Structures are given as C-alpha cells and as structure tokens.
C-alpha cells in the first residue's frame, strides 16, 4: 500500500513515539531512495545537488541527516519547501540519466514494511556497518551504522544559545565526570587497587568512559596528595609490551636510576626500589591502557610483578584498561594456560547508560547553564535509546550501544539538524534522522 509522504510536524510526535517504541519498530522509506540505489547514485551526491532556499543554510546543499529524514522517513524541512526539493531532484536525476518512467509522483511515496535504518547501497555494495551475510529484506534488520563524531555547528550554538559545545572536550575536572552507580563502583575499585595493591581489569566498549575513569584516578591521586606512584608504560603498541619493557617503565617512573641490562638484574633492581619506596610509605600502581592488545605471555609476567611483596604488603597494584576483547583474553575457557593470572584478576565492566540517559545528559547541559527542556522534547530520550540499539546474536536480540561517546555523537548531530530545519527543540522525529 502506498501512502502520501508526511510533512515534518511536531503534531506527529505521539504517533512517532508509538512507532519507535518497540523492537519491531519500522520505518517507511520513499521510493526515491530505491531509485538512487538502483541507478548507483550516492545519496551524498543527491544531497549536494538540492540547494536550500531558506534559513541560514540558504544556498547550501542538504545535509546528510536532512537527506536521511526525507529518504528514510518521508519528512520535510520547514525552511526549504517540498516543491523546491522535488523540482531540483527531478533535474538532478535527469542529468544522471534516470529515465522518465522513474520520475512520476510515485517517486515521493512511502513504501511500507522496510526494516528501520536498513541502508541500501548501489549495485550490490554491502551496507556500511552491516554484518556479513545479512540481507536487506522485510523480515530482517541490518546492523545500523552508528552516528559518527560531529561537533556542534555555529548555527546550532546560536540556535540553542550556547557559547561552547557541552559534548566535545567536555571533561575539564572531576566535577565534569558523570558517574552512574556502576561507574562509582568501578571508580572506587580502581582507587582501591592503586592504594592497596589490587589487580583489576576495567573493560568497556570504545567510548564507554574507560579513559575518563583512568584520568579521574590519576587526578584524584594527585589532587589529594596521595603517596601513590603511577607507572604507565608509554609504548604505543601494547602487543609489543614485554616483561623487559614493563621493568623499564617501573624503574624510570619510580626512580632516577637507569635500568640494568639483563632481565635478572632488572628484576632485582625493581624489587629493591619498590621495597625501599614502600617502606617510606608509598604505594605503586601499574596502569596499562589498550590492555586488550597484551599477549598471553605478558599477562603471565604481570602476575610475577603483582606478587612482589615486603612481608604482607604488596608492592605493586595493577590496573588494566581495555576493550571487550580483554574479557575474552581473561576467559579461562579460552586461555586455561593463563589461569594463574586470570584467577587473580578482578573484572569490572562498564555498561551502557540505559536508565541513566536523562541524568547523564542533564549533567552535561548543567555545565553550560541549560536544562533538558531547553534542548529536548520529552519523546527524544526513548528515541535515542532506540537509535543506539543494534541487532545482537539470536532472533530478535538487540545490543545497546548507549555509551557516552555514542550518546554525545547522536545528540550533536540531532541538535545540528534541529537548527537546520528550524525547529525549537530536538524531538524523536529528528533523532530518527541522524
């Protein structure tokens, strides 16, 4: 069944909220999207060819998010008329060799039943971000491409009366660090490991906040004047981090001595330095970022470092920070030969924001003197949750990617699009277009 395309309107919000509220939510692309794909025409080329005639973007092409709103949802901007877009689109398609049979009124009609955020690509190209073997069909949803990093535009800052971007370079001090209940636990676990010689692995997706917690730990130690020496190997490729390189890092960060030449001599040097420092009241923590790249051999050596003691006092705490691959490395079923270190390492995982979304965003906006209602309509938050779900393993399963970086990217793109189309606040219908 073909339906007339709907114009963007805030009156549509209640219906949209019902549409995107469940896992089985569907969208209805207009036929133009299929015509572009069938003729091998990139969507970006079409966006660039449609010149806007209203608002601050007068004289510029459509942005990619605005193009997505039109193609995927049949919604239209306020500041450039539907008629202007249709006229320029027709001319563009003719210049690209599209025949008249594709250019009738049906070009702008919606086609029901397509899975939400399915990405069509010209002539058999695999959709970006899709899983190998996934198919574009009415019964199967492809893994959607998550929003990429985007700064707030100057237009968006003026539109929302902001003098700086609350979602880029947003952590300037401890007061800017948002901590959910889970994150507070991990924060304290990292501090305990540093102060008392613990062995901890902090695991999370890219953008989950691992580096922020690491910086918070270092800042907390320095700010409070804690007698804790922080040791951080500087080698970029952690896959090349060896026992000898760790020895060098410990010696150089704890003392002014030059590392000895042999591994045996380095080990004795480390034990002497850490023991002397520990008896002076100091603790020591070895922090390794990108720890998912560590080899099994290096992990085994870490146990030897962690076992250095002076009586009952451990001389070195260890904090590993890495992506989910690290959890696989620390899985006994996969690496039984590393059981000595795996059994001694506590694992703390950073989970998606989920129920803490509004609180997280409120904390960001508070820093720039704004409230949630100043920027968002109430239906926007559930739309963000839905937008940041991707298919998981198993029929109907989904995985939340609602980590701080992904949320920041989604909101920035949505605010830019809100300013572009001339709406006052970010709505669910705008979120679906980013």
To 10 degrees, what angle do helices 380-387 and 357-366 make?
110
Mean pLDDT of the chain: 80
The 10s digit of each residue's pLDDT in 145-202 is 567 778 898 999 999 999 888 887 667 777 778 888 888 999 999 999 999 999 999 9
Task: Give the pLDDT score at 169.
Answer: 63
The 10s digit of each residue's pLDDT in 91-102 is 888 888 888 777
Task: Give the pLDDT score at 126.
Answer: 34
Tell me the mean pLDDT in the region 131-142.
33
Q: Where are the beta strands (DSSP E) in 130-259?
A: 199-203, 228-231
- CA 75-9-52 angle, 5° bins: 55
pLDDT higher than threshold 90 for residue 3: no
Of 110-114, 285-289, 422-426, give the lowest mean pLDDT range. 110-114
Token pair listed for 294? 């560590």
pLDDT higher than threshold 60 for residue 234: yes
pLDDT higher than threshold 80 for residue 121: no
Task: Give the pLDDT score at 124.
Answer: 31
pLDDT higher than threshold 70 for residue 303: yes
Task: Give the pLDDT score at 400.
Answer: 86
Which of 215, 223, 213, 220 lies closest to 185, judged by CA? 213
Task: Give the pLDDT score at 28.
Answer: 59
Task: Give the pLDDT score at 257.
Answer: 92
How far is residue 273's CA from residue 212's CA, in Å, rounded to a whole number? 30
pLDDT higher than threshold 60 for residue 47: yes
How far is residue 226's CA from residue 287's CA, in Å, rounded to a whole number? 16
pLDDT grade, residue 32 (50/70/90)? confident
Tell me the mean pLDDT in the region 363-368.
89
Q: If you search the block for the tokens 């089985």, which residue do you land on?
A: 24
Q: Which domains does the chain have, with CATH numbers?
A: 2-168+354-431 (no CATH), 181-349 (3.40.50.300)
Token pair listed for 298? 């290096």
The 10s digit of each residue's pLDDT in 262-276 is 989 999 999 999 999
Task: Give the pLDDT score at 170.
Answer: 61
The 10s digit of each residue's pLDDT in 241-262 is 888 999 999 999 999 999 999 9
pTM: 0.68
pLDDT grade, residue 344 (50/70/90)? very high
Task: Give the pLDDT score at 12.
Answer: 32
How far is residue 355's CA from residue 60's CA, in Å, rounded to a whole number? 39
């Amino acid at each position: 069944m073909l339906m007339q395309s709907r114009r963007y309107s805030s009156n549509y919000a209640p219906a949209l909220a019902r549409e995107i509220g469940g896992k089985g939510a569907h969208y209805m692309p207009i036929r133009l999207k299929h015509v572009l794909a069938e003729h091998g025409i990139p969507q970006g080329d079409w966006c660039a060819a449609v010149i806007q005639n209203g608002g601050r973007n007068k004289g510029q092409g459509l942005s990619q998010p605005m193009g997505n709103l039109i193609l995927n949802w049949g919604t239209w901007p306020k500041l450039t008329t539907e008629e202007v877009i249709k006229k320029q689109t027709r001319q563009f398609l003719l210049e690209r060799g599209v025949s008249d049979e594709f250019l009738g009124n049906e070009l702008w009609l919606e086609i029901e039943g397509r899975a939400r955020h399915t990405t069509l690509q010209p002539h058999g190209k695999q959709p970006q971000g899709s899983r190998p073997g996934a198919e574009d069909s009415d019964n199967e949803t492809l893994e959607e491409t998550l929003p990429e990093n985007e700064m707030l535009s100057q237009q968006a800052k003026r539109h929302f009366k902001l003098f700086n971007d609350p979602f880029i370079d947003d952590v300037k001090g401890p007061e800017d660090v948002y901590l959910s209940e889970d994150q507070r636990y991990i924060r304290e676990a990292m501090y305990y490991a540093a102060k008392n010689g613990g062995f901890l692995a902090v695991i999370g997706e890219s953008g989950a906040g691992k580096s922020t917690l690491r910086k918070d730990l270092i800042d907390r130690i320095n700010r409070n004047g804690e007698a804790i020496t922080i040791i951080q190997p500087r080698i970029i490729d952690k896959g090349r981090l060896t026992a000898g390189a760790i020895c060098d890092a410990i010696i150089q960060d704890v003392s002014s001595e030059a590392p000895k030449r042999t591994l045996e001599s380095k080990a004795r040097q480390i034990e002497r330095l850490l023991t002397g420092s520990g008896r002076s009241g100091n603790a020591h923590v070895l922090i390794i970022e990108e720890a998912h790249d560590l080899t099994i051999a290096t992990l085994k050596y870490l146990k030897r470092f962690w076992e250095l003691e002076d009586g009952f006092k451990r001389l070195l705490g260890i904090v590993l920070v890495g992506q989910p691959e690290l959890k696989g490395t620390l899985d006994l079923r996969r690496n039984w030969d590393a059981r000595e270190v795996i059994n001694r390492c506590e694992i703390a995982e950073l989970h998606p924001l989920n129920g803490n979304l509004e609180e997280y965003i409120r904390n960001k906006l508070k820093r720039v003197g704004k409230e949630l209602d100043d920027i968002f309509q109430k239906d926007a938050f559930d739309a963000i949750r839905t937008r940041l779900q991707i298919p998981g393993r198993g029929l109907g399963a989904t995985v939340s990617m609602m980590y701080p970086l992904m949320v920041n990217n989604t909101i920035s793109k949505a605010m830019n699009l809100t300013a572009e189309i001339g709406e006052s606040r970010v709505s669910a219908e705008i979120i679906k277009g980013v």
